[in-house]
Structure 1
Amino acid sequence: MIKLGVIGTSWITKMFIEAAQKTTAYELSKIYSRTIERGENFLSTLSTNDVSIVTTLSDLYTNIDAVYIASPNALHFEQAKAAIEAGINVIVEKPAFSNPTEFAIIEELLASHPDVRFFEAARHVHQSNFKIIEQTMGELTQLQGATFVYQKYSSRYDAYLAGDEPNVLTREFSGGALYDLGVYPLYAAISLFGTPRAVQYLPTLLRNGADGKGTANLFFDDYNVTLLFGKSANSYLPSEIYGLKETIVISNIAELEEVKYYDGEGNADTISEKVADNPMIKEAQDFADIINDPVAQHEHYNQWFQLAKQVNQTLFDLRQSAGIVFPADELQN
Structure 2
Amino acid sequence: MLRFATIGTSGICERFCDALAQSEGAELVGTYSRDLARARSFGEPRGASSFFDSLDELARSPEVDAVYVASPNALHAPQALKMIVGGKHVLVEKAFASNEREARGVFDAARAAGVVALEATRNLHTPTFSAIEKIVAHELGPVRLATLRFSKVTSRMGRLLAGERINIFDPRMSAGALMDIGVYCVEPAIALFGKPDVVRALSVTSVVPGCAPDDPCSAIDLAGEALLGYGDKVVSLSYGKTSDDVLPSQVEGERATLTWEPTSGPVDLRLYEHEDKGQVFRVESARGRRLEVPMPENDMVCEIDDFVAAVLGDERALAARERFERVTLDSLAVMDQIRSQAGVRFPADLG
TM-score normalised by structure 1 residue count: 0.94
In the TM superposition, what whole-angstrom CA distance separates every residue of 1:135-169 from its partner, at most 9, and x where no partner exists?
11121122112011100012322322232122111
Deviates more, 1:290-299 or 1:308-317: 290-299
In the TM superposition, what whole-angstrom CA distance separates every residue of 1:206-235 from its partner, at most 9, and x where no partner exists?
222100000011111112100000112111
2:160 aligned residue: 160
What percent of counterpart residues are identical?
31
Task: Show the 5 A alignment for 1:228-267.
Answer: 228-244=238-254, 246-265=256-275, 266-267=284-285
Are 2:292 and 1:272 aligned?
Answer: yes
Q: Is the 8 A contact 1:200 1:322 kept in 2?
A: no
Which amino acid is the alignment partner of residue 5 of structure 1? A
Are 2:198 and 1:198 aligned?
Answer: yes
Q: Using the alignment, how far apart are the partners of 1:174 and 1:17 within structure 2?
A: 24
Shift of 1:100: 2.1
Which amino acid is the alignment partner of residue 247 of structure 1? T
Q: Using the alignment, how far apart are the partners of 1:127 and 1:186 within structure 2?
A: 16
Shift of 1:43: 3.0
Q: Using the alignment, how far apart are the partners of 2:148 and 2:347 within structure 1?
A: 29
In the TM superposition, what whole-angstrom CA distance separates every residue of 1:1-37 from its partner, at most 9, and x where no partner exists?
1111100001111111121221121121111101123
Q: Using the alignment, how far apart are the partners of 1:173 and 1:53 within structure 2?
A: 25
1:218 aligned residue: 228
1:314 aligned residue: 334
Q: What's the Cα RMSD here?
A: 1.5
Q: Is the 8 A contact 1:132 1:272 kept in 2?
A: no
In the TM superposition, what whole-angstrom CA distance separates every residue of 1:52-89 from its partner, at most 9, and x where no partner exists?
22100012121211000000000111101101111100
Are 2:292 and 1:304 aligned?
Answer: no
1:53 aligned residue: 51
- Structure with larger Rg: 2
Moved over 4 A (4+): none
2:216 aligned residue: none
TM-score normalised by structure 2 residue count: 0.89
Which amino acid is the alignment partner of residue 217 of structure 1? L
Which amino acid is the alignment partner of residue 118 of structure 2? F
Shift of 1:42: 2.2
1:15 aligned residue: 15
3-state DSSP of counterpart to 1:145: strand
Which amino acid is the alignment partner of residue 131 of structure 1? S
Which amino acid is the alignment partner of residue 50 of structure 2? S
Q: Is the 8 A contact 1:20 1:285 kept in 2?
A: no
